[in-house]
Each structure stands twice: as C-alpha cells, then as structure tokens.
Structure 1
Amino acid sequence: MLWGLLEGLLGHACPGCGGRLDRPLLCASCRGELRPWAREGMVYLGPYARWGGLARALKYGRRFGLALLLARPLAEGVREAGWGLCGVTAVPTLLPRLLLRGYNPPELLAKEVARLLGLPYRRALRRVRYAPSQPTRGRARHKLPGDLFAPALRVEGPWLLVDDVLTSGATFLRAKEALLLAGASRVYGAFLAVKDPEALGPYR
C-alpha cells in the first residue's frame, strides 16, 4: 500500500487502466482481471486494446516489476495447456537496441515464466536484421526477410517462445521458423497482449 501511495505521489497512474494506483505496479481492479486466454498453440493475457498499456509500461516505462507480476498468469495458462515443454526463450532484439535500452522486455517475461514453470531459459535465437513494425492486419510474412532471426544454440523438443505483443504475427513466425531450425520439435507462443487473435491462424 505504501509503495502504491509513493507511486501515486510520483505521478504514476495504473498502466492497465490509467486510474489511481492503490497497489504497487498495478491497481487492484486490473489485477483482478488478469487471467490467461488460450487459443491453439498460444497463451496471452487479452486484447491489446485492454492491456496495451502494460506492454508499453514494460517496454518504454522501465517498470520492470511488471514482468514478475504478469508472468504469473501467463505461466498458469501455459501450465494448463499441458504442452510438455523442454525450455523457454524470447523473441530477441537487435544488439544496438538492447544496449540502448539495457534490457529486452520479452526476455524479462520469458525468464520469469521459465522460473515459475521450473524450466530452463535459454537465449536460443539471435536477431540479425532490422525490420519495421508490422501492421495489425498485414499478415505479410513474405515481406520480412527470411534471415531476420538465426539459431544461437541447439535445442530439442517443444519450446515456448515469448513476445510482449502479437501484432500481425509476422515477426513471431519468423522467430518460430528460426527456433524450429535450431531443433525444436514444436513452438508455442506466449504474449502479454494480442492485437489480432487470428493472426497466426493461416500459418499454424
């Protein structure tokens, strides 16, 4: 409660709804709404229209503690899915961007999800090329270079690939292809928010 009051005094609004913070990091009302949503092959916390503020706060607001809070319902959804995972990794960012920001938001989430599930986290991929942000309904996987990502190490069995937001699905699918090249038998996804729940449908 004291930390919530301190955040309020510092001008921090709840990143989930923009209202008053009565709890640290996220208000009680938004905490009560957190639950995993599941579709075939992926788990997420809800639509971007509702939870985009959480992704932005983690990505741009440096509110690292959100990763610990939001990873819990994600991990619950993954556990309920029963995928029999061998490990967890994250969609990587370019090294200059990592050095500038100091962290990769999907990696913060992925490491905590892995810890909660009792699974190893590995940096199984590396990003080798820049690509512009994907439009919500572009679904234009062919517009992204095929070598956007590359395997960084060898893996085996089913793996979980974590990203903060699923937009068109194109970036995630390129990362998935690289993880399959690394040796994964199947790749599942976990996200904070999804702009288009149908984005992965044509490519499964």
Structure 2
Amino acid sequence: MLWAWLEALLGHACPGCGGRLDRPLLCAACRMGLRAKAWGEVVYLGPYGQVGGLVRALKYGRRLGLAPLLAFPLAEAVRAQGWDLKGVTAVPTLLPRLLLRGYNPPEALAQEVARLLGLPYRRVLRRVRYAPSQPTRGRARGRLPSGLFAPRLRVEGAWLLVDDVLTSGATFLRAKEALLRAGAARVYGAFLAVRDPGALGPYR
C-alpha cells in the first residue's frame, strides 16, 4: 500500500484503466482482468484499444516493473498451448533506441516469460537495418526489407518470439524469418497487444 500511496501522491494513475492505484504499478481490478488469448500459433493480452495503456507505460513510461505482471498471463497461455519450446527470444531494437531508453521492452517481457516457463532466454537476433514504424492500414504496411534482422547465434527446435505490439505483422514476420534462418524448426509468437486484427490471419 505504501508504494501505491507514493505513486498516487506523484500523480500516477493506473496504466490499465486510468483510475486510482490501490496496488503498486497496476490496480487490483486490472490485475484480476489480465487474461491472455490464444490464436493459432500466437498468444496476446488483447486489442491495442483495450491494453494500449499498459504497452505505453512499459514502452514509454519506463515502468519496467510491469513486465513480470504482464508476462504472467502470457506464460500461462503459452503453457496451456502445450508448445514444446526450446527457448524464448525477443524482437530486437536498434542500438541507439536501446541506449536512449535503457532497455528493450519486448526483451524485458520475454525474459520474464522465459523465467516463468523455466526456459532459457537468448538474444538470438540482432537488428541491422532501420525501418519506419508500420502503419495500421494500407497495402504498403507489409513492405519491409528482408534483411531487417540477422541471427546472432544458432538454435534448434521450436522457439517463442516475443514483441510488445503486433501492428501490421510485417516486423514480426521479418524477425520470424531470421529466427528460422538461425535454425529454429518452428516459431510461435507472444504479444501484449494487437493493433490490426487482420495481422493475426497468417498465424491461425
């Protein structure tokens, strides 16, 4: 209660609902409402319109303590799917962005998911090229260079690839391709939010 009181004193609202914080980082009602959905080969917390506040708090608000809370329902959903995973990795960011923020939100999330699943976390990929943010609509959204990511090390078996938001699906697709080139036999996905439901189509 002390941390919640301090956060309230500093003007921090619950990033999930915008209401009063009665627990640290996330209010009790929002904690109870965290349920991940499964869609074929991916799991996610919800549509961006519903869980976007949590994404923004983790990604831009430097509320890194949210990572364990948000990873728990994702790990539970992954476990329920029965995927025979060898490890967990994350969609990497560019070094300047990493230095500016101090951490990569998908990696923070992936590390917690791996810990909860009892699996190794590895930085399998590196981002080698810049690409602009993906729009949520239009045919141009899927046009990303094929060399956006490159393997850093070799892996085998099935792997879980974690990102914070599935927008058009183009970035995840390029990362998935690189992970397959690294030796993964199969790639599953986990996200906090989905902006465009149409992007889930290929993973059914």
Q: TM-score, normalised by structure 1?
A: 0.96
Superposition pairs for residues 124-203 of structure 1, below 5 Å? 124-138=124-138, 140=140, 143-202=143-202
Secondary structure at the counterpart of residue 13 of structure 1: coil
The aligned length equals: 204
Secondary structure at the counterpart of residue 3 of structure 1: helix
> Once the 2 structures are TM-superposed, how far is the Cα of residue 99 of structure 1 from its aligned partner?
1.1
Tell me whether 132-141 or 173-182 shows the greater mean CA deviation: 132-141
1:47-70 per-residue CA deviation (whole Å, 9 max, x = no partner) reads 100100101100111001000111
1:95-131 per-residue CA deviation (whole Å, 9 max, x = no partner) reads 1111111100000000010000000000000000010
Secondary structure at the counterpart of residue 108 of structure 2: helix
Gaps of 5+ in 1: none
> Once the 2 structures are TM-superposed, how far is the Cα of residue 32 of structure 1 from its aligned partner?
1.4
Secondary structure at the counterpart of residue 131 of structure 1: coil
Structure 2 counterpart of 1:34, which letter? L
> Once the 2 structures are TM-superposed, how far is the Cα of residue 202 of structure 1 from its aligned partner?
3.8
1:21-79 per-residue CA deviation (whole Å, 9 max, x = no partner) reads 11110111111110110100000111100100101100111001000111111100000
Secondary structure at the counterpart of residue 45 of structure 1: strand
The 1-side partners of 2:186 and 2:89 are apart by 13
The 2-side partners of 1:81 and 1:60 are apart by 31
The 2-side partners of 1:187 and 1:138 are apart by 26
Kept after mapping to 2: 8 A contact 1:36/1:46 = yes
The 2-side partners of 1:122 and 1:186 are apart by 16
Kept after mapping to 1: 8 A contact 2:142/2:169 = no
Superposition pairs for residues 28-177 of structure 1, below 5 Å? 28-138=28-138, 140=140, 143-177=143-177
Q: Structure 1 residues 162 and 83 mapped into 2: Cα distance closer, same or farther (>3 Å)?
A: same
Secondary structure at the counterpart of residue 150 of structure 2: strand
1:116-152 per-residue CA deviation (whole Å, 9 max, x = no partner) reads 0000000000000010111113464651010000011
Percent of aligned positions with the same letter in both sequences? 82
Kept after mapping to 1: 8 A contact 2:16/2:30 = yes
Structure 1 counterpart of 2:12, which letter? H
Kept after mapping to 2: 8 A contact 1:45/1:191 = yes
Gaps of 5+ in 2: none
> Once the 2 structures are TM-superposed, how far is the Cα of residue 187 of structure 1 from its aligned partner?
0.4
The 1-side partners of 2:164 and 2:39 are apart by 16
Secondary structure at the counterpart of residue 7 of structure 2: helix
The 1-side partners of 2:79 and 2:139 are apart by 29
Kept after mapping to 1: 8 A contact 2:59/2:105 = yes
Kept after mapping to 2: 8 A contact 1:139/1:169 = no
